[in-house]
């Protein structure tokens, strides 16, 4: 394999992770300074912030004619999130699920996966499809803004803000002033800029690796790109699990998976000239498998309203088997 492509991809991935961290912190602090509730910050800003690498890679790949990387990355990342990262989290500590996750986030994740599969069925994801996806994101966000949780859940998200993101959850416009908001807006903008540069390197490196290994760009998107761009979700979930903030861990992964399809893929479709072509194997195998993983969460989430260590272990094993299958039979 050409080591130049690998090194370029790794450099891009590193820049993406740094950029995503800056976007996450700047965005969360800015939202807190505007008086937005920690619960809303955790379920929206953090979920979207951890998906910045997917957004940057998707738009860059779409603009450069590598749409298979963009689509494969979304499908692959969602399977990494639900099977591997959520499974690892449950292996470390069983995850109790609150009713709002089962009543809102789980159905929205299933609907988003089904919508992606349906829109992609004609072999292309057009700008019009992107508008439909973004409309779904707006609806989901409105439902989140109207969401109310128990005091215990609200406290978990306050701890996440104050600890993991170093955000004062009591901050408001009057207390911190315009200078703090400006500083965090600049941090947000700088993070986006670094993410764009990192995405260009990562996409170019991924294309070079695909050519060197003589595999399709979709396989690269489903594997190394998907695993790499899931790093922010892995870090955020690991911190939340260690701190016993289980609602933050589950909410971040489900929210990120939903926004990956509705926002990230939606914006990528709209930014790509002529839309995103969907390879037949992605259409017939990987996207339905992603939707199947979302559906498989229903009995798991409803069985005692808890993800046990056994269920987490089965999720991790299922992802490793899928990854092995991709490498042995699709590469």
Give the CATH number of the domain where residue 53 resides: 1.20.1420.30
Least confident of 200-204, 248-252, 311-315: 248-252
Summarised one tens digit per residue, pLDDT across range 142-176 is: 988 877 666 666 666 666 565 555 544 444 444 45
DSSP label at 303?
S
Summarised one tens digit per residue, pLDDT across range 22-38 is: 877 777 777 777 777 66
Range of the domain at 225: 3-267+278-330
Q: Is 122 among the domain residues?
A: yes
The per-residue pLDDT for 120 is 95
Q: Is 292 among the domain residues?
A: yes
Which residue has better confidence, 172 or 242? 242
Categorize the per-residue pLDDT at 123 as very low, low, confident or very high, splitting at 50, 70 and 90: very high
Question: How far is Cα 325 from Cα 328, in angstroms, rounded to an integer?
Answer: 5
- Written as one string, the DSSP assignment of 59-123 is HHHHHTT-HHHHHHHHHHHHHIIIIIIHHHHHHHS-EE--HHIIIIIHHHHHHHHHHHHHHGGGS
Domain total of the chain: 1
The per-residue pLDDT for 156 is 61
Q: Is 113 among the domain residues?
A: yes
Q: Is 302 among the domain residues?
A: yes
Q: Is 112 among the domain residues?
A: yes
Question: How far is Cα 140 from Cα 138, in angstroms, rounded to an integer?
Answer: 5
Average pLDDT over residues 117-135: 96
The per-residue pLDDT for 174 is 46
Helix, strand, coil shares, percent, the chain, to 5? 85, 0, 15
Summarised one tens digit per residue, pLDDT across range 251-305 is: 888 989 999 999 999 999 999 988 999 999 999 999 999 999 999 999 998 887 8
Question: How far is Cα 83 from Cα 81, in angstroms, rounded to an integer?
Answer: 6
In 3D space, the residue among 1, 52, 50, 68 whose CA is nearest the CA of residue 199 turns out to be 52
Q: Which residue in the block uniquely carries the two structure tokens 């298979």?
A: 68
Question: How far is Cα 247 from Cα 240, in angstroms, rounded to an integer?
Answer: 8
Evaluate whether 58 touches 267 at the Cβ level (below 8 Å).
yes
Q: Is 273 among the domain residues?
A: no
CB count, 10 Å around CB of 177? 10
Q: Is 194 among the domain residues?
A: yes
Kindly report the average pLDDT of the chain as a whole number.
Answer: 84
Token digits of residue 104: 């809102």
DSSP label at 163?
I
- Written as one string, the DSSP assignment of 234-260 is HHHHHHHHHTT-HHHHHHHHHHHHHHI
**Percent of the chain predicted with pLDDT > 90:** 37
Which residue has better confidence, 9 or 23? 9
Ramachandran angles phi, psi of 277, nearest 5°: -70, 140
The per-residue pLDDT for 34 is 74
Question: How far is Cα 245 from Cα 264, in angstroms, rounded to an integer?
Answer: 26
How far, in whole angstroms, is CA 90 from its chain's centroid?
18
Categorize the per-residue pLDDT at 99 as very low, low, confident or very high, splitting at 50, 70 and 90: low
Instruction: Tell me if the pTM is above 0.85.
Output: no
The per-residue pLDDT for 173 is 47
Evaluate whether 282 touches 118 at the Cβ level (below 8 Å).
no
Which residue has better confidence, 285 or 331? 285
Question: How far is Cα 17 from Cα 11, in angstroms, rounded to an integer?
Answer: 10
Q: Which residue in the block uniquely carries the two structure tokens 């109790």?
A: 96
The per-residue pLDDT for 155 is 66
Which residue has better confidence, 188 or 39? 188
Least confident of 62-76, 139-153, 156-170, 304-318: 156-170
Categorize the per-residue pLDDT at 138 as very low, low, confident or very high, splitting at 50, 70 and 90: very high
Question: How far is Cα 80 from Cα 143, in angstroms, rounded to an integer?
Answer: 26
């Amino acid at each position: 394999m050409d080591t130049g492509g690998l090194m370029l991809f790794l450099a891009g991935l590193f820049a993406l992770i740094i950029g995503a961290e800056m976007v996450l912190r700047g965005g969360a602090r800015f939202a807190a300074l505007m008086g937005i509730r920690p619960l809303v910050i955790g379920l929206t800003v953090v979920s979207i912030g951890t998906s910045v690498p997917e957004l940057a890679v998707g738009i860059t790949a779409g603009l450069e004619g590598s749409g298979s990387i963009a689509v494969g990355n979304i499908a692959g990342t969602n399977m990494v999130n639900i099977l591997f990262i959520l499974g690892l989290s449950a292996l470390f500590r069983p995850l109790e699920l609150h009713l709002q996750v089962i009543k809102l986030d789980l159905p929205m994740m299933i609907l988003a996966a089904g919508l992606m599969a349906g829109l992609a069925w004609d072999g292309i994801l057009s700008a019009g499809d992107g508008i439909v996806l973004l409309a779904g994101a707006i609806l989901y966000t409105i439902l989140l803004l109207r969401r109310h949780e128990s005091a215990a859940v609200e406290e978990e998200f306050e701890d996440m803000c104050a600890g993991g993101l170093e955000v004062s959850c009591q901050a408001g416009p009057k207390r911190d002033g315009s200078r703090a908001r400006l500083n965090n807006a600049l941090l947000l903008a700088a993070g986006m800029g670094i993410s764009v540069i990192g995405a260009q390197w990562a996409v170019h490196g991924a294309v070079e690796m695909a050519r060197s290994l003589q595999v399709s760009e979709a396989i690269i998107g489903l594997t190394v790109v998907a695993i790499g761009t899931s790093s922010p979700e892995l870090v955020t979930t690991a911190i939340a699990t260690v701190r016993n903030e289980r609602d933050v861990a589950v909410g971040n992964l489900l929210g990120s998976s939903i926004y990956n399809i509705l926002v990230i893929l939606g914006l990528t479709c709209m930014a790509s000239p002529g839309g995103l072509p969907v390879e037949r194997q992605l259409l017939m195998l990987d996207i339905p498998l992603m939707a199947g993983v979302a559906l498989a969460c229903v009995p798991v989430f409803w069985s005692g309203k808890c993800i046990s260590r056994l269920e987490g272990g089965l999720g991790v094993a299922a992802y490793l088997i899928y990854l092995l299958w991709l490498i042995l039979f699709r590469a």
